[in-house]
Amino acid sequence: MSTVSVIGAGYVGLVTAACLAELGHTVVGVEIDPRRLSALQRGAVPIHEPGLSELVARHHSTGRLSFTNAYTAAIPGSEFVFITVNTPSGPDGQADTGYVYAAVRSVLEHARPGLILVMKSTVPVGTADEIAQLIAYSRRRGIGVVSNPEFLRQGSAIQDFLQPDRVVIGASRPAAAAAVAQLFAGLAAPVVRCSRRSAELAKYAANAFLAARISFMNEVAAICEAVEADIEEVAQIVGSDRRIGPAYLRAGLGWGGSCFPKDVRALAATAASHGRRPAILEAVSEVNTRQRERAFEQLRAALGMLPHATVGVLGLAFKPDTDDLRDAPALDIINRLLGAGIAVRAHDPVAIPNARRVLPQVQYCHDAYEVAQGSDALLLATEWRDYLALDWRQIRTLMRGRLVLDGRNVLEGSLLSALGFTYLSFGRSSSLGVTAPLARPAASASSGLWTAKP
């Protein structure tokens, strides 16, 4: 078993630290955000990720997991240091590696020969090579640099880490690759060894490909609306083809979060910086933006003329089972609604404390029923399980209007229509289409009911 430091205790770092402790290693998490650190040192986990609190608590008590902000305490005793700090979008779309280089510099001040730096942050191709070169120039001997991109999904991060499809190890020296592979020996997963550059690029390619699948199906959903086909049926048929598979084929408001948007942008920026036009990546982002715009336009078309129009939003996080709001479609649409003078009431099972910080103008509610109260329209923006079995009869009595925009294609459209709702979704035959050319019905100021259905 090894001694490991993990730099940055965010979504990836915390999961990495806790799971490496679970694999038997002794792990120190190094975190510079004082609020995050003090929570962790008290034994509280400052982010929502199923199973993470329990795992962190367990290894706090086994003594295999601790947290500090002192590199000097963590690094000298470590055989491996994982870099898991954030790499946000820079102004040119490329990932900003400022936090990565700052972390690496701090590590190197305390590093001993034999240390292996494991780059888990998603970084532009060539970053690990450049860090290796900087280390060589600084005449430090015996420090290895390995790329080990992370493919976990927020919401199922622990399972993804402990049961990955593959562990990718990009290295220039077989000994360093073997040492890092040994860290993951407890996992029943194939290890893919490759160059550092291939490992870095594979991470971007995987995220961009997943985003492309969703955008592609959103494009097909728009075609479904035009030709009166049903996206669910189409997706099922397409996804049952073994060459394609069923994942990431659901039409709706599209992708968001901390990774897909910035990684698609960064890969496009990489291509452009080498004189390649990333035509597919540009379209992938464009279709995604269009989904949000169309949802907003439909709501505004239906409600914009109403005095004191109110939209109720169900779900704020970019996906279920996380409190992460980064680039969440809900936030984008809420900002557009507020800008158009439409009031917003909202609920999310876990993301409200984060949302209050960025959207103080929203009225936050205890549950979906409170959101429905007095709303002219409801937008389901995140498919939390709590929203899949709502009592729509009760909601009908609470709402002022009858419009329901199912941003995730998860509600029973025919049921809602039978109850008298105007049900909108993406490319489903049981609904009006969100991406269809906009009908601009005259909204009824008295009832708030949009009756555009032919």
Cα distance between residue 343 and residue 132, in whole Å: 53
**Which positions from 149 through 168 interact with ligand NAD, judged by CB under 6 A?**
150, 152, 154
Q: Does 32 bind ligand NAD (CB under 6 A)?
A: yes
Residue range at the interface with ligand NAD (CB under 6 A); choices 8-16, 53-61, 131-139, 328-336: 8-16
The beta strand positions in 120-200, using DSSP E, are 144-147, 167-170, 191-194
Q: Is 16 in the site for ligand NAD (CB under 6 A)?
A: no
The DSSP letter of residue 386 is G
Q: What angle do CA 86, 149, 19 make, to 5 degrees?
A: 85
Instruction: Tell the smallest beta-carbon distance from residue 84 to ligand NAD (Å).
Output: 5
Q: Return the DSSP state at 385.
A: G
Positions 53 through 92 that interact with ligand NAD (CB under 6 A)? 84-87
Q: Which is nearer to ligand NAD, 25 or 36 (CB)?
A: 36
The radius of gyration computed from the CA coordinates of the chain, to the nearest angstrom, equals 24
Q: What token pair was written down for 259?
A: 């990774």
- In terms of CB distance, is 11 or 387 closer to ligand NAD? 11
Nearer to ligand NAD, 13 or 312 (CB): 13
Query: Which is nearer to ligand NAD, 270 or 435 (by Cβ)?
Result: 270
| Binding piece for ligand NAD, criterion CB under 6 A, among 32-40, 173-181, 216-224, 344-352 | 32-40
Instruction: Specify whether 259 is catalytic.
Output: yes
User: Which residue has the CB atom at the shortest distance from ligand NAD?
Assistant: 10
Residue 216 makes CB contacts below 8 A (sequence gap 6+) with 287
What is the spatial distance between Cα 123 and Cα 384, in angstroms, rounded to a whole number? Answer: 31
Dihedral of the alpha carbons of 241, 247, 251, 257, in degrees to the nearest 10: -160
What CA–CA distance (Å, rounded) separates 123 from 102? 14
- In the chain, count of helices (H) and strands (E)? 17, 15
Cα 177 from Cα 167, distance rounded (Å): 11
Rule CB under 6 A: say whether 8 interacts with ligand NAD: yes
User: Counting contacts by CB under 6 A, is residue 259 touching ligand NAD?
Assistant: yes
Catalytic residue, from 19, 224, 259, 365: name it.
259
Q: Which of 36, 196, 250, 265 binds ligand NAD (CB under 6 A)?
A: 36
Member of 6, 23, 30, 381 binding ligand NAD (CB under 6 A): 30
Catalytically annotated residues: 259
Which residues of the shown chain bind ligand NAD in the complex (CB under 6 A)?
A: 7-13, 30-33, 36, 84-87, 99, 102-103, 106, 121-122, 150, 152, 154, 258-259
